[in-house]
Structures are given as structure tokens and as C-alpha cells.
Amino acid sequence: MTPSGDASRPVALVTGASRGLGAALARFLAAQEFELVLNARHAEPLEEIAGELRDSGRTVPTVVGDIGKPSTRTALQREIQRFDHLDLLVNNASELGPSPLPPLAGYPPQGLERVFRVNVLAPLSLVQELLPYLVRARGRVVNISSDAAVGGYPGWGGYGASKAALDLLSLTLAHELKELGVSVVSVDPGDMRTAMHQAAFPGQDISDRAPPEATLPFWAWLLNQEPMAVSGHRFQAQGDRWEVSP
């Protein structure tokens, strides 16, 4: 079975695409002529985004479900199989953990296990399961990180540790997949005015944070780079400049 979209277009899979950065990226990639497969946990907001993009002539298949569950990843693999290649995998879906954010010394073990399942194991599992399609397209993997991965901020230890692990996973995969032509980068999008960021600061005004769309110049830059030239790097999307050291 083949998708009804344009088979000549590149294909992108974005997880956590119903709101925030994921939704902004879905709109941006559609404008860049990507065919899209979108995932999120909540059906209504995900279908709103997909419906908006379908109006531009794309099929935009969606998979509603927790990316930490194998059944959700299997459903995503089936959708990618219909395209037979994957040019861009954006592992954006993330689990913040308990709110208010607890100190590590009192972090509930079950909560920490879920944070690592969604933020570390799920992205790796998706790469493993979708690798043949990434290899076929000489595709890119983008893992969404955080400044919490390097900051050691009180209360952010669980989330930050998971993103630090994701950074190392990204770097290792970049080395291991080089010969297969698959590029892997991690991206810290910076503080943004999103529901997740609000959950990290319950009751506080976060209106001074940038909207997710503030990162779009970075994504335009990244997509214009030769994939293997940037592979293995960690970028700050809201940084003043983006460079790759020779």
C-alpha cells in the first residue's frame, strides 16, 4: 500500500506534534514540502494540526498514543512503511515528570522510570525500528534536548538527566551510523512559552519566554546544512549563531 501524498517529497516523522515546538515544526516542515507523519498522546489537538496541514494537500497520517509504548511505535513504523523511506525523524515528545518538579533526593522512582522511558528509550527504539527507512533516504535524526541536560538546576535533575543521556545517545549514534549515511544531532530549543514549560513553573507567569516559532530560523539553517557535516553536534536553537567546527 502506498500513501496518496507526493512520493517525490521528503518524509518527516515528528513526535509530540500536537502543540508547542512539535506543532510549530510540523507547520514549518509542511511549508518546506515535506510529507508528514505526526504523533501525540492527545487526539483532538493532534487532529487539529493534521487537519490544518491536510488543507494544503497532504495526507498527514497521525498516530495517537504514548511514544513510550511499543504499540505506538509499531503503528508509526507501519505509517512510515507506506512511504518506504524516512528523511527526517524528530524525536520531540518528552516527559517532564512530576509537577512541581521534585528534588532528586525525593524523586519518585516510578516517575523517573517514565521520564527515562519516554525521553531516552523511546527515541532510541524509534531509531532502531525505523533505521532501514532512514538508511534508504540517507536521513536525519534530530533529538530534542534541553539546557537542563547541562545545567544541574535544582528540581530539574530527573528531566535533565534524561536529556543528558539523550545527548550521549545522539553522539554515539552519530558515530555508529556514519557509515550508513544517517546523520544524528541533538538540539536544545531553549526556554519557550509552552504547556510543558508552564507545568515546570506552576502558577508563574512565563509570558516573557519566546514562542516555539522563535526557533524556526535555526531549523531553516539546519535543513540547509549537509547532513553529515553537522552529524554528532549539539545545537542551541535560540543561540546567536550556529556553526560547525571544522
Q: Do 143 and 189 contact (CB within 8 A), yes or no? A: no
Q: pLDDT (tens digit, 9 = 90+) per residue, 199-246?
A: 667 777 767 777 889 999 999 999 999 999 999 999 999 988 887 754
Which strands, in side-by-side order, build the sheet including 140-144?
62-64, 35-40, 11-14, 88-91, 140-144, 183-188, 234-236
In angstroms, what CA-CA distances link 61 with 65, 130, 181, 201? Answer: 13, 16, 26, 33
Q: What CATH code would you report for 11-232?
A: 3.40.50.720
Mapping DSSP to helix (H, G, I), strand (E, B) and coil, where does residue 163 land? helix
Q: Which three cell numbers stand for residue 131?
A: 533505521
Q: pLDDT (tens digit, 9 = 90+) per residue, 77-108?
A: 999 999 999 999 999 999 999 989 999 999 99
| Ranges of each domain in the chain | 11-232
Q: Which three cell numbers stand for residue 206?
A: 512565563
Report whether the peptide linkage leading into residue 227 is cis, meaning its omega lies within 30 degrees of zero.
no
Pick the catalytic residue from 107, 133, 153, 159: 159
Quote the CA–CA distance of 74 and 77 in Å, as a whole number.
5
Query: Quick one: pLDDT band at residue 5, thresholds 50, 70, 90?
Result: low
> Among this protein's residues, is 159 annotated catalytic?
yes
- C-alpha angle 122/125/127, rounded to 5°? 115
Q: What is the pTM of this model?
A: 0.93
Query: Quick one: pLDDT band at residue 55, thresholds 50, 70, 90?
Result: confident
